[in-house]
């Protein structure tokens, strides 16, 4: 199996946020708790993945503006 690691693009932020929230929710947290986590777990442009305490992610990089 070949794996390619690449930088996320700005248009993938919403999809990545959905993945992060679903990954958190799978542990059975109720909707109230998930709402409290939403801001912290939302992926935005310029977001540095390695600094998110709630996630154990490897080889993630920063979302960059396409002009960078």
Tell me what pLDDT residue 25 has: 95
68 vs 27: which has the higher pLDDT? 27
Higher pLDDT, 43 or 8: 43
Average pLDDT over residues 51-64: 41
pTM over 0.85: no
Residue 36 has pLDDT above 90, yes or no: yes
DSSP state of 53: T
Alpha helix stretches (DSSP H) within the chain? 13-25, 31-41
Give the burial class of 62: count Cβ atoms within 10 A of its Cβ; 0-12 exposed, 13-18 middle, 19 or more buried. middle
| Tens digits of residue pLDDT in 9-21 | 778 888 989 999 9
């Amino acid at each position: 199996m070949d794996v390619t690691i690449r930088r996320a693009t700005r248009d993938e932020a919403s999809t990545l946020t959905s993945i992060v929230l679903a990954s958190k929710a799978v542990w059975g947290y109720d909707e109230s708790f998930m709402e409290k986590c939403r801001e912290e777990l939302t992926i935005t442009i310029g977001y540095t993945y390695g600094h998110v305490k709630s996630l154990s992610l490897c080889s993630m990089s920063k979302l960059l503006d396409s002009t960078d």
